[in-house]
Amino acid sequence: MSSNLPVLLFLVPFVMGVSMPLLTAKRRSWCPNLMLGTVGVMLLLSITNLRVVLAEGPIDYAFGGWAAPIGIAWLNDSIAAIVILTINVVSLISLIYGRVVVTTGLEKSVPYYTLILIMVSGLVGIIFAADLFNLFVFLEVAALAGYALVGAAGGKGLVYAFRYLLLGSFGASLYLLGLGHLYVATGTLNMADLAIRLPELLTSTAVASGLIYIFLGLSIKMALIPLHSWLPDAYENAPSSVTPLLASTVTKVALVAWVRIEYSLITPGVEVSHVPVLVLLEELGVLAALIGGSLALIQTDLKRMFAYGGISHIGLILIGVSLGNVTGFAGGMFYLINDAVMQAALFMIAGTVLHYHGAKTLEDLRGVGRQSPWLTGALIVVAVAMVGLPPTGGFFGKWNIILGALEAQHYLAVFAVVASTLLTLGYFLKIFSCWFHQPQFAESESLEVSGALRISLGAISVSIIALGLMSDSIFQFLLESVTSGGA
């Protein structure tokens, strides 16, 4: 049973997503409950999977009994287990929230719920895939569902979904081109085999080109500056019911895919065609952290502000995993887990104020905090975590990235973490200055959120706090998995 957990985690949402039109042909009202039940089952499976990996260590899964490199291989290791659990937690909370703020016309749309489950199954496949071609397949499964979800409500969302489709397809083409280069140079796309064969080929132009194309393709998927232009418009115009799920999973899982490749194939100090790869990646992370934070600070639209803030944090995570030491790597992965939860919380808050009172810009937010304590509490919790104040996980993630940078004597990375933190503080101060301003709503007008939203806002806030309280255990788990080679 334990060895089959990865395929069960993939098949549960995939089979339910494909079966949804048939199961709900006469009762479309069943769709939300079936979707939540499916993700609930996935959450239980992911908890069991983490316990199994903790007890048994990394588990290889070979489809049909055909071992790699002939067969399709998946790797169920510590990074996969903890990221899968994070995705399922934020998915369940986001989908509970989405039942309340769902855009008119989508609440009984069978394709809408099918797409969500197909996207989640694609994300699971990305995390478990142990060869570069199957990673590409699952990237596209998740991406195609994501494009459709961005445009699901129609209107401007269709325009930006199409733009997302064009850029995402370009990224997929670059990734596929990179696979061709690596296969010609090495004769394999299995990551374990590549790790053995690449060290002797690092001066090869084909290998260098292949890695560059793969990174560029994944950079578009993870919205790494300057390949980020699709994200703010897509998240601003996507249905508020699905934006928390997209923001917390899509870019993070693309980054996990790159971390897999980086960790497996590029060791500290390695140069590809005389280029120090990790140093270059770290500098790209520095630029993303600073530029993303600066762009967030000047926004007036709440969703765009949060979108650029997420782009900045992608840069922070890339800094951590590219420092070349276990402290920075574990700190970066821990921050990725925290950021997934924080991004879900931010877009839940943005969607709630838009849904209840049409508040889209900072000016529209005036007075919300005086009449909506649940929203205020959630915003304070996520702001403290985003800025990186103890005892939240945001603090411990940034702190360990800084420690890793000091250990590597990369002081520019330290500056980037501190500066991006100050930029994050700056845009939250802008939000709070409007949030607690004299209300523009009538005193008799209720701004309280519904019971389901209280549950989702409370659950996401508790998750943020819990990550901080459990930070030492989680960080030590990540640290031990990296040092033992189990990541």
pLDDT tens track, the chain, 487 positions: 556 888 899 999 999 999 888 888 777 778 888 889 999 999 999 999 999 888 888 888 777 666 666 668 888 888 889 999 999 999 999 999 888 877 766 777 788 889 999 999 999 999 998 888 899 999 999 999 999 999 887 788 889 999 999 999 999 999 999 999 888 888 888 888 888 888 777 777 888 888 889 999 999 999 998 888 889 999 988 888 899 999 999 999 999 999 888 877 766 555 555 556 777 888 899 999 999 999 999 998 899 999 999 999 999 999 998 888 888 889 999 999 999 999 999 999 988 888 777 778 888 887 776 677 788 888 999 999 999 888 888 899 999 999 999 998 889 999 999 999 999 999 999 988 888 776 554 443 445 567 778 888 899 999 999 999 998 888 888 887 766 544 5
What residue spans of 129-276 are helical by DSSP H?
132-150, 156-186, 191-197, 205-222, 230-237, 243-265
Q: What is the pLDDT of residue 22?
A: 86
Q: What is the pLDDT of residue 126?
A: 93
Q: What is the pLDDT of residue 44?
A: 94
Between CA 261 and CA 54 the distance in angstroms is 23
Q: How far separated are the first and last CA of the chain, in Å rounded?
A: 22
| Cβ-Cβ contacts under 8 Å for 278 (sequence gap 6 or more) | 262, 266, 268, 269, 270, 322, 323, 324
| pTM summary value | 0.90
Between CA 430 and CA 119 the distance in angstroms is 34
Q: Find, among 353, 356, 293, 352, the residue nearest to 319 by Cα.
A: 293
Ramachandran region of residue 115, left (φ > 0), alpha (ψ -120 to 50) or beta? alpha
Rg (CA), the chain: 21
| Cβ-Cβ contacts under 8 Å for 210 (sequence gap 6 or more) | 178, 179, 180, 181, 182, 185
Q: What is the pLDDT of residue 423?
A: 94
Q: What is the pLDDT of residue 1?
A: 55
Residue 62, beta-bridge partner list: 73
Between CA 381 and CA 345 the distance in angstroms is 9
- DSSP H/E element including 285: helix 277-297
Residue 190, beta-bridge partner list: 131
Q: What is the pLDDT of residue 479?
A: 81
Q: What is the pLDDT of residue 443?
A: 47
Between CA 399 and CA 330 the distance in angstroms is 11
Q: How many CB atoms lie within 10 A of CB 422?
A: 11
Task: Residue count of the chain, please give it.
Answer: 487
Residue 170 Cα to chain centre, angstroms: 20
Q: How many CB atoms lie within 10 A of CB 65?
A: 6
